[in-house]
A and B are shown apart, each in its own frame.
Chain A
Amino acid sequence: MPKIFAPLAVVAALMLAYAPVAVAGAPYESTMLLVQKIFYFHISSWIAMSAAITVCALGSAVYLFTSSEKADHYGFAGAELTLIFCTFGLVSGSLWARKAWGQWWQWDAKLTMALMLELVFVGYLLVRKYAGPGSEKLAAAMGIFGAATAPFIYKAADWWRTIHPKTSVVPTLKPAMWNVVWFCASAFLLLFVLLLMMRVRLEERRAELDRLYLEADA
């Protein structure tokens, strides 16, 4: 693991420990009151998911064109992290919706597309695990396909009639709320970088193990 990993991990742990305190101190939104505070982790999770899906798409595209092993490691790691942050985004959104809408789930465009994205990446991981040799290329194509849906999910509330708040709500936040949004988003992005480093390290070690097995057989 790179030397910078340990100091970054300490910083991320401190930021994530302080994040709930910062969220508690943020001003209350006038209509939703306390439940709006889920938003700080909810939006941060989607920002981290966007970073993960970008890494997955770039890694997958480079792997498809160059067959670079390193690019495949980043693509795989990005896909798993997309699934993790997407899961949290969906669950936190559902908890917010139960209070704000009175329902855990609505089959509207934005939510349904986000669920489809989650399922695409579940499919990605299943292909990597069970499809056997050569599944890397198929999975890389799935990663690119999944990433292509992300901008539509982001703009869904603006383009179609959905119950989800529009993206235009975010710029109307008070400056004190923005500070907390940026703090939480930075903490999540730092966590994402650390998890990516760990996950890529795992893939590197696996590739090394495969090489050792091949050498032992030869």
Chain B
Amino acid sequence: MSIIRRALIAVSWFALVAAPSFAFQAPAAQDGFVPISEVPPSERLPAAPFVIGAYAFFLVLMVVYIWSISRRLNHVQHEMKVLEQRTTQATAQGSARR
């Protein structure tokens, strides 16, 4: 009876301790990297769109920024013209009243 009990304890102990440690063993080390030709197409990430994307983004950013500066500059110059016209009109009206 005691032998059976001991055997059961030993098996339980093995199941509790040894089995998980076998289960969590590190996978065998790879010899090297997997060549790109062996990687499935869904896992490959071609570089060209990223390179072209970066250069295209720069071009768009610069065009938008230069357009933004020239728009603001035109706006200020237009406002200056309007103000000058108003000042000239006010001066002319003032001298006419006198």
Complex CA–CA separation, A199 to B84 (angstroms): 23
With A191-B62, A212-B83, A216-B87 known to touch, is A96 a contact of B54 (CB < 8 Å)? yes
A37 to B55 alpha-carbon distance, docked (Å): 10
Q: Chain B contacts of A42 at CB under 8 A?
A: 54
How many angstroms between the C-alpha atoms of A118 and B70 in the bound complex? 24
Say whether B87 contacts A38, CB under 8 Å.
no
The distance from the CB of B5 to the nearest CB of chain A, in whole angstroms, is 54
Set A33, A88, A96, A98: member contacting B57, Cβ < 8 A: A88
- A198 near B69 (CB under 8 angstroms)? yes
In the bound complex, residues from chain A placing their C-beta under 8 Å from that of B16 are: none
Knowing that A88-B58, A199-B69, A216-B86 touch, tell me 4 more A-B residue pairs with CB under 8 angstroms.
A91-B54, A95-B51, A202-B72, A208-B80
CB distance from B73 to the nearest CB of A (A): 5
Known A205-B76, A216-B86; judge A34-B54 contact (CB<8 A): no
Residues of A in contact, count (CB < 8 Å): 33
Bound CA–CA A209/B55 (angstroms):
37
Quick check: is B19 within 8 A (CB to CB) of the other chain?
A: no
Contact of A37 among B51, B57, B65, B79 (CB under 8 A): B51
Nearest chain A CB to B38 CB, angstrom units: 17
Question: What residues of A have a CB within 8 angstroms of the CB of B79 in the complex?
Answer: 209
A195 close to B51 (CB less than 8 A): no
Q: How far is the CA of A209 from the CA of B79 in the complex (A)?
A: 8
Query: Which residues of A have CB within 8 Å of B73?
Result: 198, 201-202, 205
A213 at the interface (CB under 8 A from B): yes
CB neighbours (8 Å) of A95 from chain B are 50-51, 53-54, 57
B12 on the interface (CB 8 Å rule)?
A: no
- List chain B residues, Cβ under 8 A from A213: 83
- Given the complex of chains A and B, what is the CA–CA distance between A213 and B73 in angstroms? 17
A92 to B53, CA, bound (A): 8
Is B28 close to A, CB under 8 A? no
Residue contacts A-B, CB under 8 angstroms, 5 given = A91-B54, A98-B45, A99-B45, A198-B69, A198-B70
Decide if A35 is an interface residue (CB 8 Å cutoff): yes
Contacts of A98 in B (CB 8 A): 45, 50
Q: Name the 3 nearest CB pairs between A and B, nearest first.
A: A35-B47, A34-B47, A92-B54
The digit string for B35-74, where 1 denotes a CB below 8 A from any CB of A, is: 0000000000101101101110110011001100110110
